[in-house]
Amino acid sequence: MKAKITRLLLTAVLTMCCTVMTNAQVAYRDGKLLIENTGYKDGFEFALYKDYSYTYAYGDNVIKKSFSGNCAVVISGWIDNSNIPSSVTYNDETYTVVALSGTAHFSYFPNLVIPNSVEVIECNAFTNTGTEIPYQLNNLTFADGDKDLYCFPLIEAIATAKGGTFLNVNTLKKLHLGRNLRYPGDDDNKQGNLAPFANGTFSELEVTVGPNVTKIPDFCFYKAPLSTLSLFQGVKTLNLSNATSLQSIGRCAFFSNSINMALDFSKATSLQSIGDMAFGNCILFNNINFGNIPLTDIGAGAFLGCTNLSQAFFFSNTPPTFGESCFPENTTVYVKNSNLETEYSKVYDFKGKIIAYPDNMMLKYQTTDGKIIPYPTYHGTIPIYDPSIYNSYETGYGTMYFDHVLTSIGGNWFNECGSLFSISMPNTISSIGELAFFQCTNLRTLVIPESVNNIGKRAFRDCVSLHDVFFLGNNNSTIS
């Protein structure tokens, strides 16, 4: 996955203009330096420039970001101040804050908000090299905005080809992506190892994607599968509920991370593509809801190696093109109608199942205090096995009602649903799937209508509270 990079012997020379050079690398700040250090203004110290620019070159990659007019670069700050200002006034002149210095050690800040005005994070901005102060950064926010943020890597990381800007920030717990991130080589996929969070040493990271982000770049949160330990590091939660402008998730963007919740893409209403191996080797999450988004392409191996992934749901009339081995073979893919079921069964390249679910199905849940609320599923449309979601809606044991015509109850639909104590089935159901009510430990009463002619294996296994079962079928029914 990673581009091969020749190990370099680095000789770093830091000057007042933050120049770093090796035999294959150049990173330097340019422009007319007006004030070397303003002293503390709004809790931060700044270097002031006229026409600031930052140039970075590594191998064939050369990036130069230039800004005209009055510019400010953050060079230091008080640790108890977390909001970097978008501008600063000095001697009655206003300077736009456009960059974070590579000598500022921003990893010391427990909380940090980077404004939309900042477009450059210089090399080494998030490191504690040369100091004894430990990393403290827990919450990092890239404020919502429309400007791309260029994240340049750690100098020490380039020597070992390990990762990018935030490689060693092992204390990071929460991250808000409010705009698009860029890094050296992201245009040609040659330098994935320099992606901002690639191979980061953080664990249990919660990532929220804002409404202005259009792309999560290739390798952004990539983790090399080096050991069993790495499977439980990296991104734990990915929240796309406000990612309404997100159009693409890049190649290997979340490869080998520890995402342990069901993935919900349904609110990412602009998402069109998921790159090759984007979520490969993420072994913990077990379900995906694609909703009715305009997804057109899922890349090769996008979810390959996700060994716990059992179900994926598409509510669109036109599900995307599936790349080679994009899902593991144990996954069941639910599509909207029988025509799609037939179509995808012919072209699909894994050994799992393609199943059409009933159109317009809606479930409701009645609590013991009489409230009727949508069943705790994504969009209230189809059950997804995730006990944590069920429990978060539990306000007392309740009864499940089916509002629309339903012909079957699928396998695992209510698996481990501890909040269910009875269920009312319409007389249109012909089958109950395998493990459909497995470990519904509070299910007490069950009426199976006469229309049911097949009950799958272990459908009610370990329903330890079940004491009243009324089967209205006949002797021709098949009960495993």
| Mean pLDDT in residue range 278-282 | 93
pLDDT in tens, 370-381: 444 444 333 333
- End-to-end Cα distance, the chain: 46
Distance CA 385, CA 161 (A): 39
> Residue length, the chain?
480
Distance CA 24, CA 327 (A): 40
Q: Give the range among 66-75, 217-226, 234-243 with minimum mean pLDDT.
A: 217-226
Tokens 């995307």 belong to residue: 320
Q: Give the range among 54-68, 188-202, 263-277 with minimum mean pLDDT.
A: 188-202
Q: Is 116 exposed, middle or buried, given 0-12, 13-18 or 19+ CB atoms closer than 10 A?
A: middle
Q: Is 68 exposed, middle or buried, given 0-12, 13-18 or 19+ CB atoms closer than 10 A?
A: exposed
Most confident option among 80-94, 240-254, 367-381, 419-433: 240-254
pLDDT in tens, 9-51: 122 222 223 333 344 567 889 999 999 999 988 889 999 999 9
pLDDT computed for residue 82 by the predictor: 84
| Mean pLDDT in residue range 384-395 | 35
Q: Is 422 exposed, middle or buried, given 0-12, 13-18 or 19+ CB atoms closer than 10 A?
A: middle
- b/e sequence 383-404, b meaning 16+ C-beta within 10 Å: bbbbeebbeeebeebbbbbbee
Mean pLDDT estimate for the chain = 77
Name the DSSP class of 153: P
CB contact at 8 A, 110 and 89: no
- The string of DSSP letters for 179-204 reads S-EE-TTTTTTS-GGGSTTTT----S
Distance CA 164, CA 155 (A): 9
Q: Give the range among 62-76, 124-138, 445-459 with minimum mean pLDDT.
A: 124-138
CB contact at 8 A, 385 and 286: yes
Distance CA 224, CA 96 (A): 38
Q: Walk across the sheet containing 353-356 and list its strands.
A: 263-264, 287-289, 311-313, 332-335, 353-356
CB atoms within 10 A of CB 130: 9
